Chains A and B, each alone.
Chain A
Amino acid sequence: MVRVDFSRLRLLVIDDNVHMRRIIRSLLHGFGAREIYEAEDGPSGLETFSQCAPEIVIIDWVLPGLDGLELTRMMRHLKTLGNAYVPIIMLTGHSERARVMAARDAGVTEFLTKPISAKGLYQRIVNVVFNPRPFIRTETYFGPDRRRNVNPNYNGPERRKGGEADVINQVPLADVVRAED
């Protein structure tokens, strides 16, 4: 059965709380990850992102210096920093709908609310590995496609013009791998 080999992933954890970093690191080690970088604030997070080229970033919202939203926007828009398409998992104590929407609009790939659980973190990582989403660039947005489903009751204007109006279907990577096997 196809699975994620965490030992082949390079991860960056940006969280100002030493206890939370320790917990996340323990969970990632438990999954089998070996290459984990850490940063405790926004500026050092950007520096580590640039130097270590992580393949997945786990980021807290509330940080000293630059917060998680600002960091996400910089990682998406400043291509000189590194891979602008990197999957970003926002792990935060914020869980209000408005916050989730703001994170999505900043370009976050996955959102995970605290309290953290092994299952929740595992599912988010597996999802970014197996179900990559295309990126959308408009005048006001650059980030993962924000449409996850088609609402049959939606009557408003389409906000994208000239292309497919509905969800861009992606073949999950697991299916691609299976098909090629």
Chain B
Amino acid sequence: MTKTKQEAVVVKHSDHEVITPVHELRKATTYKPPMPGQEDPVACAEEALAELSDQFPSWMGSECERLDQARKAVEQHGFNDTTRDELFRAAHDIKGEAATFGFPAVAVAAESLCRLIDLSPEMTRIPFTLVAQHVDAVCAIYREYNNSDVVEVAEALTARLRHVTDDFLLRENRDRPAALDEIGAPSVVPGKRG
């Protein structure tokens, strides 16, 4: 058993080492009671998030605008590493943020676009029309979010988009068994409804 400069305890075995580092975060543990009103940190954080929520619709709008700009860059320059990455990042951010912003139905269409980009082995073969349909769907679902039937319409729209996307991806990946498994996996985006 040895100690490194950082005083981690190192136990050597024939093909590996087990290292127990100094646990510096121990200083952040305390018995001191929290300040009044801060007894529940999760509730305090949720309250802090709620204070931001007035801004969420405009944030969602700016994310949709960013996605549209990324689509226009693809239209203008075609798919290259730069345009592909920006389109993917814009769609991926919407996938991750939409539910937090109060627009969970938008996330599903964004996820379908992420799959289209991520699982296509040759980006230049991705049909631009299919990209444009995804971007239009994301923006339309956001724009119409106050309509009472938006969730049903979004589900029907994104189900159709996903079906067409899957058909394309299955053809493009017919020689890549690992990718085929992933294409067949169900959507993992939570909170389709509400």
Asked if A102 is at the interface of the complex by the 8 Å CB criterion, the answer is no
B23 cross-chain contacts in A, Cβ below 8 A:
132, 173
Count chain B residues whose beta carbon lies closer than 8 angstroms to a beta carbon of A: 57
Q: Which residue of B lies closest to A91 (CB)?
A: B96
B32 cross-chain contacts in A, Cβ below 8 A:
5
- Rounded to whole Å, the gap between the CB of B36 and the closest CB of chain A is 13
Q: Are A118 and B49 in contact (CB under 8 A)?
A: yes
A49, B104: Cα distance in complex, Å: 33
Q: Are B59 and A162 in contact (CB under 8 A)?
A: no
A119, B46: Cα distance in complex, Å: 9
List B43-60 residues whose CB lies under 8 Å from chain A: 44-49, 51-52, 59
Q: Are B30 and A3 in contact (CB under 8 A)?
A: yes
Q: Are A17 and B44 in contact (CB under 8 A)?
A: no
Q: What 0/1 readout, one digit per residue, does chain A (140-157) give for beta carbons within 8 Å of chain B? A: 000001000000000000
Asked if B175 is at the interface of the complex by the 8 Å CB criterion, the answer is no
List A70-90 residues whose CB lies under 8 Å from chain B: 83, 85, 87
A32, B93: Cα distance in complex, Å: 27
A107, B40: Cα distance in complex, Å: 31
Q: What 0/1 readout, one digit per residue, does chain A (1-18) give for beta carbons within 8 Å of chain B? A: 111111011000000110
Q: Which residue of B lies closest to A130 (CB)?
A: B29
A85, B188: Cα distance in complex, Å: 31
Given that A2-B29, A5-B32, A132-B23 are contacting pairs, would A137 and B16 also be in contact in the complex, using a CB cutoff of 8 Å?
yes
Q: Are B93 and A93 in contact (CB under 8 A)?
A: yes
- Rounded to whole Å, the gap between the CB of B166 and the closest CB of chain A is 15
Asked if A105 is at the interface of the complex by the 8 Å CB criterion, the answer is no
Q: What 0/1 readout, one digit per residue, does chain B (154-194) give for beta carbons within 8 Å of chain A? A: 00000000000000000000000000001001001011000
B80 cross-chain contacts in A, Cβ below 8 A:
none
Asked if B149 is at the interface of the complex by the 8 Å CB criterion, the answer is no
Q: Are B42 and A118 in contact (CB under 8 A)?
A: yes
Asked if B13 is at the interface of the complex by the 8 Å CB criterion, the answer is yes
B97 cross-chain contacts in A, Cβ below 8 A:
17, 19-20, 114-115
Given that A5-B29, A30-B45 are contacting pairs, would A168 and B18 also be in contact in the complex, using a CB cutoff of 8 Å?
yes
List A84-131 residues whose CB lies under 8 Å from chain B: 85, 87, 92-93, 95-96, 98, 114-116, 118-119, 121-122, 128-130
B14 cross-chain contacts in A, Cβ below 8 A:
161-163
B41 cross-chain contacts in A, Cβ below 8 A:
4, 6, 30-32, 122
Asked if A51 is at the interface of the complex by the 8 Å CB criterion, the answer is no
Q: Are B18 and A3 in contact (CB under 8 A)?
A: no
Q: What 0/1 readout, one digit per residue, does chain B (85-114) give for beta carbons within 8 Å of chain A? A: 100110011011111110010010000001
A136, B98: Cα distance in complex, Å: 37
List A17-42 residues whose CB lies under 8 Å from chain B: 17, 19-20, 22-23, 26-32
Q: Are A1 and B31 in contact (CB under 8 A)?
A: yes
Asked if A52 is at the interface of the complex by the 8 Å CB criterion, the answer is no
A contact set with B: CB distance below 8 Å: 1-6, 8-9, 16-17, 19-20, 22-23, 26-32, 55-56, 62, 64, 83, 85, 87, 92-93, 95-96, 98, 114-116, 118-119, 121-122, 128-130, 132, 134-139, 145, 160-163, 168, 173-174, 177, 181
Please give me the 7 A-B residue pairs with the lowest Cβ-Cβ distance, nearest first. Answer: A30-B45, A93-B96, A162-B14, A114-B96, A163-B13, A30-B48, A115-B99
20 A-B pairs with CB atoms under 8 Å apart are A2-B29, A2-B30, A2-B31, A3-B30, A9-B25, A9-B28, A19-B97, A31-B42, A62-B88, A64-B85, A93-B92, A98-B182, A115-B191, A119-B42, A122-B42, A129-B26, A135-B19, A136-B17, A138-B17, A163-B14
